[in-house]
A and B are shown apart, each in its own frame.
Chain A
Amino acid sequence: MNVEIKILKKFVPKDFTLVSGLPGIAYIGKLSVDYLIQQLKAELVAEVYSKYFPPYVLIRSDGIVELLRNELYFLKDETAGDLVFFSGNSQAFSPEGQYEVADKLLDWAVANGVKKIYSLAAYVSDRVFDVPNVYGTATSTEALEEMKKMGVMPLDEGVISGENGLIIGLAKKRNVEAVCLMGETRGYQTPTGQYIIDAKASKAVLKLLTAALNLKVDMEPLDKQAREMDEIIARMAEVERRIKEELAEAAKKPSYVT
């Protein structure tokens, strides 16, 4: 088993839009897609397993064992049409694995009539900001122009690492129209190296995505999470500022003063 898509429920999407967001920097892609799945009550229709996911299992609090996996959720929306959401608790760990998982997903999507793909990701910035920007790139000038009109800032140069980037890169090779939306984040991490979830960046991404898809979504629960995260991020920014000040002060002193 390199990559296996296990269909749980037969479903027939028609000219559908695929919205993808896997765990990555500040969990922006994953949080955004998971939020849509939850708010719109999309239905779990398939699971994706791969030997390229990290080799361990999770025991849930009810005692049930789970392999790491990605998931496909389906929604027929009155205004946005057929939507398939791609999320999960893991990304493949190697470039080879990331290519295989992304490729297998695109095989499935193309075979089932995907119309357009949105990949959601993060853009790490040093800028101090109150409202995060949303950066974007697309497989066609037309698609990018459309996003620019909605307020997306085109990304001139940069790297979209992992599957969130590969999905749009491989979509281009297959002539499938795709857009990547990247929420601006400081990418704060805990002392153990875990990314802190940036709900504010997710909200910024979702505001544009829902407008592009003509989707109605209650943003209040995400707003609440964003406000809570704002307080944590403000504290971390203050710590960062103090460290920078102290380092600057230390640099002014002669090196022999200890």
Chain B
Amino acid sequence: MEADVWIERLRKVELETPVAVVGSPGLRSIGKLVVNQLIDAAKANLTAELYSSHLPMIYHTKPSYVSHYSLPGVGGARVKHGQVDLPKVQFYTCPSPSMVIVKGYHANFAGQYDVAEKVVEVLSEFAVSRIIVAAGYGSETSKVCCAATSPDIIREMKETLNLEVDYSGPFYGFSGLVFGLAKLKGIDALCLFAGTEPAPEDLEFPDPKASEMILDVLNQMLGFRK
């Protein structure tokens, strides 16, 4: 194994200035639900996969998105429908609307930067015009708020979609670092945070209503529901 993060390209596609949508297992699994539903709704095709020795099969941290340097997890394979597979990040593409959808996976503490950096590199190769991250935040109100890499995008979100800034604080895991590294690499990015009530016994317990709120906003932005 020459590299600890590598990409397998499954098909060659050419997209016209696509928008990337990124989600991963996180608070109430909102990001994960959004990308899964978006892939189905847009009939997106699996185009590339990222593998890494930093992707644990079993996490020693719970929730998975809060990593710890002394708890790297355990590597391993998954068997599903009799087929063996490795943990991975997947890139789906769709020509209309022109999109790259990233189904994220949390690396361990030491590998998160390497994995997120590779994801941003792949999105750069697709020449994405913008990255939209979907995630959840703990809130008593059910609404979508936003964060971004620049004040211009914050203003645009307010003017076009009436989205406010409502969350400040840390953003852990795969999606947070992709968001931050996009800024460092000069790619415009924004995050749609859906307000959700954290479930203390299982912080990743799915909240489909919250993910639906983000999908509605994404549909206004991208028009993937035909």
Binding site for B on A (CB under 8 A): 1, 4, 6, 49-67, 93-94
20 intermolecular pairs with C-beta atoms under 8 Å apart: A52-B113, A55-B109, A55-B113, A57-B180, A58-B169, A59-B147, A59-B170, A62-B151, A63-B146, A63-B147, A63-B148, A64-B147, A65-B147, A65-B148, A65-B149, A65-B176, A65-B189, A66-B183, A67-B180, A93-B109
Taking a contact as CB atoms under 8 Å apart, the answer to whether B168 and A59 are in contact is yes
Taking a contact as CB atoms under 8 Å apart, the answer to whether B173 and A56 are in contact is yes
- The listed residue (A54, A58, A64) touching B149 by CB distance below 8 A is A64
The CA-CA distance from A66 to B109 in the complex, in Å, is: 18
Shortest B226–chain A CB gap in Å is 31
The CA-CA distance from A167 to B209 in the complex, in Å, is: 51
With A63-B147, A64-B154, A94-B69 in contact, is A51–B168 under 8 Å at CB?
Answer: no
Contacts of B168 in A (CB 8 A): 59-61, 63
Taking a contact as CB atoms under 8 Å apart, the answer to whether A63 and B171 are in contact is no
Query: For this complex, into which size category does the number of interface residues on chain B fall?
Result: 20 to 34
Taking a contact as CB atoms under 8 Å apart, the answer to whether A56 and B147 are in contact is no
The CA-CA distance from A112 to B180 in the complex, in Å, is: 29
Contacts of A66 in B (CB 8 A): 180, 183
Taking a contact as CB atoms under 8 Å apart, the answer to whether B177 and A93 are in contact is no
Taking a contact as CB atoms under 8 Å apart, the answer to whether A67 and B184 are in contact is yes
Within 8 Å of chain A (Cβ to Cβ): is B101?
A: no
The CA-CA distance from A70 to B148 in the complex, in Å, is: 21
The CA-CA distance from A50 to B177 in the complex, in Å, is: 12
Taking a contact as CB atoms under 8 Å apart, the answer to whether A57 and B179 are in contact is yes
Shortest B196–chain A CB gap in Å is 16
Contacts of A50 in B (CB 8 A): 113
Contacts of A65 in B (CB 8 A): 147-149, 171, 176, 179-180, 183, 189, 191
Interface string of B153-192 (1 = CB under 8 A from A): 0100000000001011111110011011101100001010
Within 8 Å of chain A (Cβ to Cβ): is B112?
A: yes
Taking a contact as CB atoms under 8 Å apart, the answer to whether B110 and A64 are in contact is no
What is the chain A residue whose CB lies nearest that of B106?
Answer: A55
Contacts of A51 in B (CB 8 A): 113-114, 117
Taking a contact as CB atoms under 8 Å apart, the answer to whether A59 and B171 are in contact is yes
Shortest A56–chain B CB gap in Å is 5
The CA-CA distance from A59 to B168 in the complex, in Å, is: 5
Shortest B88–chain A CB gap in Å is 19
Taking a contact as CB atoms under 8 Å apart, the answer to whether B167 and A59 are in contact is yes
Taking a contact as CB atoms under 8 Å apart, the answer to whether B184 and A56 are in contact is no
Contacts of B150 in A (CB 8 A): 64
Taking a contact as CB atoms under 8 Å apart, the answer to whether B148 and A56 are in contact is no
The CA-CA distance from A94 to B112 in the complex, in Å, is: 14
What is the chain B residue whose CB lies nearest that of A93?
Answer: B69
Within 8 Å of chain A (Cβ to Cβ): is B29?
A: no
Which of chain B's residues 14-54 have a Cβ closer than 8 Å to chain A? none
With A1-B117, A51-B113, A51-B117 in contact, is A57–B177 under 8 Å at CB?
Answer: yes
Question: Which of A6, A50, A62 gathers most chain B CB within 10 Å?
Answer: A62
Within 8 Å of chain A (Cβ to Cβ): is B64?
A: no
Taking a contact as CB atoms under 8 Å apart, the answer to whether B165 and A62 are in contact is yes
Contacts of B179 in A (CB 8 A): 57, 65
What is the chain B residue whose CB lies nearest that of A51?
Answer: B113
Contacts of B110 in A (CB 8 A): 94
What is the chain A residue whose CB lies nearest that of B183?
Answer: A65
Contacts of B151 in A (CB 8 A): 62, 64
Question: Which of A53, A55, A58, A66 gathers most chain B CB within 10 Å?
Answer: A55
Taking a contact as CB atoms under 8 Å apart, the answer to whether A1 and B180 are in contact is no
Taking a contact as CB atoms under 8 Å apart, the answer to whether A58 and B67 are in contact is no
The CA-CA distance from A191 to B25 in the complex, in Å, is: 30
Which of chain B's residues 102-122 have a Cβ closer than 8 Å to chain A? 109-110, 112-114, 116-117
Which of chain B's residues 50-79 have a Cβ closer than 8 Å to chain A? 67, 69
Shortest B69–chain A CB gap in Å is 5
Shortest 3 CB-CB distances between A and B: which pairs? A51-B113, A63-B165, A55-B112
Taking a contact as CB atoms under 8 Å apart, the answer to whether A56 and B170 are in contact is yes
Known: A63-B154, A67-B181. 4 other contacts (CB 8 A): A51-B114, A54-B109, A59-B171, A64-B147
The CA-CA distance from A61 to B165 in the complex, in Å, is: 8
Contacts of B149 in A (CB 8 A): 64-65
Taking a contact as CB atoms under 8 Å apart, the answer to whether A62 and B154 are in contact is yes
The CA-CA distance from A60 to B171 in the complex, in Å, is: 11
Taking a contact as CB atoms under 8 Å apart, the answer to whether B154 and A58 are in contact is no
Contacts of A58 in B (CB 8 A): 169-171
Shortest B109–chain A CB gap in Å is 6
